[in-house]
Structure 1
Amino acid sequence: MSSPVRRWAQAQQRAYTRGEDRPLGGFLGAMGVYSGVVSAGAVALRASGRPLPERIPLGDAVLLTVATFRLARRIAKDPVTSPLRAPFATFGGASGEAELAEEVREHGGWKHAVGELVTCPFCLAQWVGTAFVFGYVAAPNATRLAALTMTAVAGSDVLQFAYDAIQGGVTEDDGDGGTGG
């Protein structure tokens, strides 16, 4: 016999998904992990005695924003980081310049939820941004340096696209097999 809470959760799953295979339990688990990590980080920062910044300078906020964008896309779409996604996704081909299209491998459960997380740059941005903010509070200079690296890469990406556009688009193979990485 299942518990009333389990029966309620199963009824919610059926009503919400209408037969589609959506990993609500896995998403709930991911939210729990995220909340636990944030709580542990907050406790660690509190215990360290390091004060929270009263405000973040605009330049630092922009630096962290661009770095969050670039690192989230790097993790979710870059060919070089595909081994991190491989346990949860299957290769579906190129989806753009130096980016891959991948499908979630498992359907239902926590592996499905992780697959959706690691293949979605929008989803990963929450985790990456949180890491950058905690890093900024705990070790601002080291975090600025790491963020500067990702921001420089994002700037380079923009320049690569601009260069290709000025050249009328490169039609020859540039020797990297279209992977860019």
Structure 2
Amino acid sequence: MTEQDAILRERPTPPSQSKQKGSYPYYAALIVVFQAMFGAFLVLYRRSRHPLEQVSALDVALLSIATLRLSKTISEDEITKVVRDPVVEETETYRQPEGEGLRFSLGRLLLCPTCIGTWVAALLTYSLHLFPRYTRPFLAMMSASGISQCGDALLSLVYADRDAVKEKRGS
């Protein structure tokens, strides 16, 4: 048995259609929660009597990079496995949502960097408006980490190409 066969044998079957369809009410509930968070933000912002916070192009850039970094951290990094563990089954070869209903829906949300990224972007934006003095340094840190990660990925590609060229010349 090859290694690929072993991996395929270990891989669980994908969630059934009925399990996914059974999660639709919970997806709807998550959408309602997301919209309620926005409504709560608007109420809090209005009551805080802050002058309307100007969001600069730099703020948008920092929000974008920080959102990318945080969403990848939440959905993929080992350090945040503790967050995913109650709703996600993870092995060395696969990751999938566990359970049914709300648990399954939360697992799907946490495994999708784009999906959880929407929530992260919303929370960071709310924080930027409500607590700009404290949020901007956090955005800067997460953005620096995100740019560093992009640099690492780029260097990995360069080194892989370099090694492939060396191997080709040596053969």
What is the Cα deviation at residue 143 of structure 1? 1.2
RMSD after superposition: 2.2
- 1:104 alignment partner in structure 2: 97
What is the Cα deviation at residue 21 of structure 1? 2.0
Question: Equivalents in 2 of 1:157, 1:124: separation in Å?
Answer: 19
1:35 aligns with 2:35: yes
Question: Equivalents in 1 of 2:108, 2:72: separation in Å?
Answer: 13
User: How has the CA–CA distance of structure 1 residues 139 and 102 changed in structure 2, closer, same or farther, with 3 Å as cutoff?
Assistant: same
Whether the 8 Å contact between 1:92 and 1:103 is mirrored in structure 2 is no
In terms of fraction of residues, the more helix-rich structure is 2
What is the Cα deviation at residue 142 of structure 1? 1.5
Counterpart amino acid of 2:80? T
- 1:118 alignment partner in structure 2: 110
Give the counterpart of 1:143 among 119, 135, 149: 135
Counterpart amino acid of 1:31? I
Give per-residue Cα distances to partners, 1:37-92, cap 9 Å, x unaligned.
22112111111101323x52111111111111110111111111001000000113
Moved over 6 A (4+): none
Give the counterpart of 1:153 among 145, 154, 160: 145
In terms of fraction of residues, the more strand-rich structure is 1
Question: Equivalents in 1 of 2:109, 2:17: separation in Å?
Answer: 22
What is the Cα deviation at residue 131 of structure 1? 0.8
- 1:20 alignment partner in structure 2: 18
Q: Equivalent residues in 2 for 1:55-70 (5 A)?
A: 55-70=54-69
What is the Cα deviation at residue 19 of structure 1? 4.9
What is the Cα deviation at residue 152 of structure 1? 0.7
Question: Equivalents in 2 of 1:82, 1:161: separation in Å?
Answer: 22
Question: Equivalents in 2 of 1:105, 1:112: separation in Å?
Answer: 5
What is the Cα deviation at residue 164 of structure 1? 2.6
- 1:51 alignment partner in structure 2: 51
1:167 is paired with a residue whose SS is helix
Q: Gaps (5+ residues) in structure 2?
A: 1-15, 164-171
Instruction: Give the TM-score normalised by structure 1.
Output: 0.73
Instruction: Give the TM-score normalised by structure 2.
Output: 0.77
- 2:85 alignment partner in structure 1: 86
User: How has the CA–CA distance of structure 1 residues 141 and 76 changed in structure 2, closer, same or farther, with 3 Å as cutoff?
Assistant: same
Aligned residues with identical type, % of pairs: 23
Whether the 8 Å contact between 1:70 and 1:154 is mirrored in structure 2 is yes
Q: Gaps (5+ residues) in structure 1?
A: 1-17, 95-100, 172-181
